[in-house]
Amino acid sequence: MMTTDMINWPEEKVQKLMGHYREILSLLGEDPEREGLLKTPERVAKAMLTLTRGYEMDPKAVLNAAKFQEEYSQMVIVKDIDFFSLCEHHMLPFYGKAHVAYIPNGYITGLSKIARVVDIFSHRLQVQERMTLQIKECIQETLNPLGVMVVVEAKHMCMQMRGVEKQNSITTTSDFTGAFNQAKTREEFMNLIRNNH
């Protein structure tokens, strides 16, 4: 299996980022030539490219690559999708779980593709609210289902490490379309994702 450490990032991009991170280390009062920091600019450059790799990927293409005609028209749920993202305000991590449901309208997609869509949008500089909306819109526009609902639960390091320093707070966001406008359908989804939680 290929790890993100093995990805061949464009050398020019890596070199430019390394230069900026060397400068940042100096501005923070560190010595970038110190033994322990010699490889840090390169490591951070590659880490940031990995954490923002979603910009290089097309989530709609991922769904379309495994789009199948199927007459199934009950709720399809992929829950507990782990994700890690970077808050665009402080570039600190936020992480948690996404739960996605859709009601097919003639087409389904591979279940792993729903998780890939979450992965792509989370690997960009984000705010949780927008990420929730983007996942919902991508599935709605690509599969044209009878409805989509997305719930995202996350912990934000910008709240835990700085500012209010609240360690146990969880932020929940949700968005929905179509059939999920009915409270009964939303309630069914929420009950199903809460089971075994």
Q: What proportion of the chain, given as a percentage, has pLDDT over 90? A: 85
- pLDDT at site 51: 96
- For the question of residue 128 being annotated catalytic, the response is yes
User: How far is it, in rounded angstroms, from Cα 186 to Cα 139?
Assistant: 17
Strand pairing category for 76-87 and 93-103: antiparallel
**Active-site residue, selected from the candidate residues 23, 56, 70, 88:** 88
Please report, for residues 99, 105, 144, 191, the alpha-carbon distance to residue 187 in angstroms, rounded to integers and kept in the order given: 14, 21, 22, 6
Strands 147-156 and 171-176, sheet pairing: antiparallel
CB burial readout 98-136, b (16+ within 10 A) else e? bbbbbbbeebbbeeebbbbbbbbbbbbebebeebbbbbb
Q: The tokens of 123 are what?
A: 């690997």
Q: Is 99 a catalytic residue?
A: no
Q: What is the mean pLDDT of the chain?
A: 93
pLDDT of residue 6: 58
- Is 90 designated active site? yes
Whether 156 is catalytic is: yes
Closest residue by Cα to residue 194 from 163, 161, 151, 157: 151
pLDDT for 4: 52
As given in the structure block, the two tokens for residue 146 are 């009878």
d(CA 163, CA 121): 26
| 15-29, 37-51, 61-75, 161-175: least confident range | 161-175
Selecting among 30, 42, 90, 160, the annotated active-site residue is 90
At residue 176 the predicted structure's pLDDT band, cuts being 50, 70 and 90, is: very high
**Residue 157: is its pLDDT beyond 90?**
no
Amino acid 7: pLDDT: 73
Q: Which of 50-59, 99-108, 117-126, 157-166 has the lowest mean pLDDT?
A: 157-166
Per-residue confidence (pLDDT) for residue 163, from 0 to 100: 65
Q: H or E element: which one contains 155?
A: strand 147-156
When mean pLDDT is compared across 40-49, 62-71, 151-160, the lowest value belongs to 151-160
> What span, in angstroms and rounded, lies between the C-alpha atoms of 71 and 107?
7
Q: Is 91 helix (H, G, I), strand (E, B) or coil?
A: coil
Asked if residue 197 has pLDDT above 60, the reply is no
Active site residue 182: no
Q: Which residue has the tokens 């993202």?
A: 85
- Please give the average per-residue pLDDT across 4-15, as a whole number: 81
- Annotated active-site residue 88? The verdict is yes
